[in-house]
């Protein structure tokens, strides 16, 4: 196989498109996408399941071959959530990249308790309904979390056999 020369600023685990979207979202938010923030994002993207902050720290330390202060990683995560590239699963205290980071949105999750996969939903209808219901109560929502645990369609198939 031919050896492909890597661009000096290329980040492992991140496609050119993912990088462009990430840069666009940061620019929109008036924030700077530093190499360290980008690396944390790439590490979340390269995982096939949501990661806890400590799992992410361990993976970053392995990648960078050095110790990284937990607080630094928590700051990266706060940043990535703020600009809309990453979501936090409140019920699991884990983090995962957004499935459609091109635009701002509120998301909902279906969490499989068997294989650990997290499928992101983006239902404007549900968001509108929650807005209406909270409004009727005179309630001012700050953060609404919709996370449904259960079995994904693949795991459901497996248990049916």
Among 41, 107, 108, 109, binds Zn ion (CB under 5 A): 107
Q: Does 111 bind Zn ion (CB under 5 A)?
A: no
C-alpha 140: how far from its chain's center? 25
Q: H or E segment at 72? A: helix 70-82
Q: Does 18 bind Zn ion (CB under 5 A)?
A: no
Contacts of residue 117, defined as CB under 8 A and 6 or more positions apart, other chains included, come to: 49, 111, 152
Beta carbon nearer to Zn ion, 68 or 111: 111
Least CB distance to Zn ion at residue 98 (A): 3
Tell me which stretch binds Zn ion (CB under 5 A): 20-28, 29-37, 38-46, 113-121. Answer: 113-121
**Binding residue for Zn ion (CB under 5 A) from 14, 89, 110, 155?**
155
- Give Cα separations from 35 to 78, 128, 147 (angstroms): 15, 37, 31
Told to check if 39 binds Zn ion by CB under 5 A, we report: no
Per-residue contact string for residues 64-103; x = within reach of Zn ion by CB under 5 A:
----------------------------------x-----
Among 115, 121, 129, 133, binds Zn ion (CB under 5 A): 115
* CA 99 to each of CA 37, 58, 86, 107, 152: distance values in angstroms, whole numbers, following the listed order: 18, 23, 9, 10, 17
The SS3 assignment for 111 reads strand
Assess contact for 106 and 127: CB atoms under 8 A. yes
Q: What are the backbone angles phi and psi of residue 74, rounded to the nearest 5°?
A: -60, -35
Residue 127 in contact with Zn ion, rule: CB under 5 A: no
Q: How far is the CB of 59 from Zn ion (least distance, A)?
A: 21
Chain positions contacting Zn ion, by CB under 5 A: 98, 107, 112, 114-115, 152, 155
């Amino acid at each position: 196989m031919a050896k492909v020369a890597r661009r000096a600023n290329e980040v492992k685990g991140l496609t050119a498109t993912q990088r462009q979207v990430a840069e666009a979202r940061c620019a929109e938010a008036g924030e700077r996408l530093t190499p360290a923030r980008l690396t944390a994002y790439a590490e979340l993207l390269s995982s096939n399941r949501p990661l806890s902050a400590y799992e992410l720290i361990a993976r970053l330390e392995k990648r960078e071959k050095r110790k990284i202060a937990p607080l630094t990683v928590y700051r990266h995560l706060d940043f990535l959530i703020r600009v809309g590239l990453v979501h936090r699963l409140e019920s699991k205290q884990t983090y995962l990249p957004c499935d459609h980071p091109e635009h701002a949105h509120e998301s909902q999750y279906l969490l499989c308790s068997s294989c650990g996969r997290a499928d992101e939903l983006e239902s404007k209808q549900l968001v509108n309904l929650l807005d209406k219901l909270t409004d009727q109560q005179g309630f001012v929502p700050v953060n609404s979390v919709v996370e449904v645990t259960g079995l994904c369609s693949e795991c459901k198939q497996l248990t049916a056999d």
